[in-house]
């Protein structure tokens, strides 16, 4: 249990209103020392929890601000400790002066994530819920918000707790058998254990497989923009981002390195990767950029192949053998740029070429990035290419890499349990594999996590949370 009292500014700079959070054993007493209530008899130390008190804060004889103080008493607060929140005007000067007063009276400046870390240590939430707090703050779309809310409300935690309870029941029965090994008594029905293991395997496997969706929603769906030099890749990136992110020039080979940025389209985050144009060149630096193009092509989920419509036949024939082998299980969109410079008959000829390409997931569209023709239709095509399910706050989807690795190890352990049951493995060895599975599931909730891992997790939080 933490004994010192911490404080931090909890609102972003520049707003009209600012908030300072204080938490710890002396939070109410310290706040009371710097706060003068407007009404006599409204001392904070005498106030009930969940109350607001209006008053003033002075720095010596100088009035700093008129403020509202919210009061929470342990264990019914965010951190599980006595806490106050001081709401004042958002002036950086006022906020810093109040912070200095709190520190002079016994507070310590909070570390990043320390309020949420105390909530975890005081049993107000498990580790997966604490991590969801950071995800909620960082959410930039409706989908990422729903993912974080689902995890913070404990849907994921409840599912893990149910799995652990079932496994603990069985391992206790198996270990009870070991105590009566001389009597040759079987307390754990092996067929029932196999049924349980199969059911748990399906649940863990579903959670592991959901990571692809969760990771895409959280970090953005990678879209590689590829094609020959001067096809209009950088122009399109600038149009999609609505800013001059990439250099645009008529000179071939302008883009020599990978340029990445994200944008939210229709509630989905896309991570666009503008790559070096693919062509035969003796330029060493440009060739390094082209190598990186194919590396990013392998990492992308959607491939946006930009083709100069005025030279479409030549570019498709030259690059299809280089590009399409890297696009297995990826959705490919052929964007024929500069389509305002070709006739309808030429478009029909291009469509015929596309229909003969050997790829299962491919579509095409005629655009003009320079004139912004069909670029909104291209965005809709990108949305449909994601095939992301609609996520609600009740869905349990894994988006955290640490959780994914722990679940993968738990899945390996339950596979060993299944294999052990198939070969009639002894109870002590079965029990060890079950306990390994329990260990990895418990690691997600923070029940077995060491201090170093905790420090690494919470140091990524913002100060004040």
Q: Is residue 359 marked as binding?
A: no
- Annotation-wise, does 420 bind a ligand? no
pLDDT one-digit tens code per residue, 300-343: 788 888 888 888 888 887 777 777 777 788 888 988 999 989 89
User: Reduced to 3 states, what is the DSSP secondary structure of residue 110?
Assistant: coil
Q: Is 412 annotated as a binding residue?
A: no
Q: Are 254 and 235 in contact (CB under 8 A)?
A: no
pLDDT of amino acid 305: 85
Annotation-wise, does 249 bind a ligand? yes
Residue 250 counted as an annotated binding residue: yes
> Kind and range of the H or E element at 445?
helix 427-445
277 is in an annotated binding site: yes
The reply, when asked if residue 42 is annotated as ligand binding, is no
- In the chain, which residues fall in CATH 1.20.120.430? 140-210+396-458
Is 328 annotated in a binding site? The answer is no
How much is the pLDDT for 287? 52
Q: Report the CATH superfamily, name and number, of domain 6-110.
A: Probable tRNA modification gtpase trme; domain 1 (3.30.1360.120)
For the domain 140-210+396-458, what is the CATH code? 1.20.120.430
- 11 annotated ligand-binding residue: no
Residue among 346, 349, 339, 345 at smallest CA distance from 378? 339
Q: Is 276 annotated as a binding residue?
A: yes
Residues with Cβ within 8 Å of residue 465, at least 6 apart in sequence: 10, 113, 115, 116, 133, 134, 137
**Which residues make up the CATH 3.40.50.300 domain(s) of the chain?**
218-386
Is 403 among the annotated ligand-binding positions?
no
Q: Give the single-character DSSP code of 368.
A: B
Cα–Cα–Cα angle for 81, 23, 48, rounded to 5 degrees:
65
Q: Is 285 annotated as a binding residue?
A: no
48 assigned ligand-binding residue = no
Is 124 one of the annotated binding-site residues?
yes
What is the C-alpha to C-alpha distance for residues 282 and 411, in angstroms, rounded to an integer?
49
pLDDT of residue 388: 73
According to the annotation, is 85 in a ligand binding site? yes
232 annotated binding-site participant: yes
* 242: region left, alpha or beta (phi > 0 left; psi from -120 to 50 alpha): left
Q: Which CATH class is domain 218-386?
A: alpha beta
Q: Is 90 annotated as ligand-binding?
A: no
Has 230 been labeled as part of a binding site?
yes
pLDDT of residue 389: 66
Segments of the chain assigned to CATH 3.30.1360.120: 6-110
pLDDT per position as a tens digit, 247-301? 444 434 444 345 678 888 887 888 888 766 564 545 555 456 556 666 667 777 8
Under-70 pLDDT residues of the chain:
1-2, 175, 177-188, 243-259, 275-296, 358, 389-394, 448-450, 452-453, 456
Annotated binding residue 252: yes
């Amino acid at each position: 249990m933490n004994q010192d009292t911490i404080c931090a500014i909890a609102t972003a700079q520049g707003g009209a209103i600012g908030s300072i959070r204080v938490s710890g054993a002396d939070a109410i007493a310290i706040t009371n020392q710097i706060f003068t209530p407007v009404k006599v008899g409204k001392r904070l130390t005498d106030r009930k929890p969940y109350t607001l008190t209006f008053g003033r804060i002075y720095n010596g004889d100088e009035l700093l601000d008129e403020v509202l103080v919210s009061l929470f008493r342990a264990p019914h607060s965010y951190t599980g400790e006595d806490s106050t929140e001081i709401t004042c005007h958002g002036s950086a000067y006022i906020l810093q002066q109040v912070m200095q007063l709190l520190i002079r009276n016994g507070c310590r400046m909070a570390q990043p994530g320390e309020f949420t870390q105390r909530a975890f240590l005081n049993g107000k939430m498990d580790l997966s819920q604490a991590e969801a707090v950071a995800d909620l703050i960082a959410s930039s779309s409706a989908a990422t918000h729903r993912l974080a809310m689902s995890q913070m409300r404990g849907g994921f935690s409840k599912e893990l707790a149910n799995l652990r309870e079932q496994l603990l029941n069985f391992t206790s029965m198996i270990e009870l058998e070991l105590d009566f090994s001389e009597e040759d008594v079987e307390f754990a029905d092996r067929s029932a254990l196999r049924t349980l293991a199969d059911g748990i395997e399906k649940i863990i496997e579903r959670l592991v497989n959901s990571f692809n969706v969760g990771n895409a929603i959280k970090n953005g769906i990678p879209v590689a923009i590829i094609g020959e030099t001067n096809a209009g890749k950088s122009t399109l990136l600038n149009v999609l981002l609505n800013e001059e992110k990439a250099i645009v020039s008529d000179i071939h080979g302008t883009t020599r390195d990978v340029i990445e940025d994200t944008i939210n389209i229709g509630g989905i985050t896309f991570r666009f990767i503008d790559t070096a144009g693919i062509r035969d060149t003796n330029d060493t630096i440009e060739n390094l950029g082209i190598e990186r193009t194919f590396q990013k092509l392998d990492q992308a989920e959607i491939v946006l192949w930009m083709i100069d419509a005025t030279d479409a036949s030549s570019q498709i024939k030259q690059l299809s053998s280089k590009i399409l082998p890297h696009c297995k299980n990826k959705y490919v969109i052929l964007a024929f740029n500069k389509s305002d410079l070709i006739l309808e008959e030429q478009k029909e000829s291009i469509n015929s070429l596309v229909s003969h390409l050997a790829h299962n997931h491919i579509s095409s569209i005629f655009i003009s990035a320079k004139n912004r023709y069909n670029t909104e239709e291209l965005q809709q095509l990108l949305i449909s290419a994601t095939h992301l399910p609609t996520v609600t706050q009740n869905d349990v989807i894994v988006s955290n890499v640490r959780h994914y690795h722990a679940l993968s190890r738990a899945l390996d352990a339950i596979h060993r349990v299944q294999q052990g049951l198939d070969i009639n493995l002894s109870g002590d060895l079965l029990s060890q594999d079950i306990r390994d599975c329990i260990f990895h599931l418990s690691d997600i909730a923070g029940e077995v996590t060491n201090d170093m891992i905790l420090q690494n997790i919470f140091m990524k939080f913002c100060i004040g949370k």
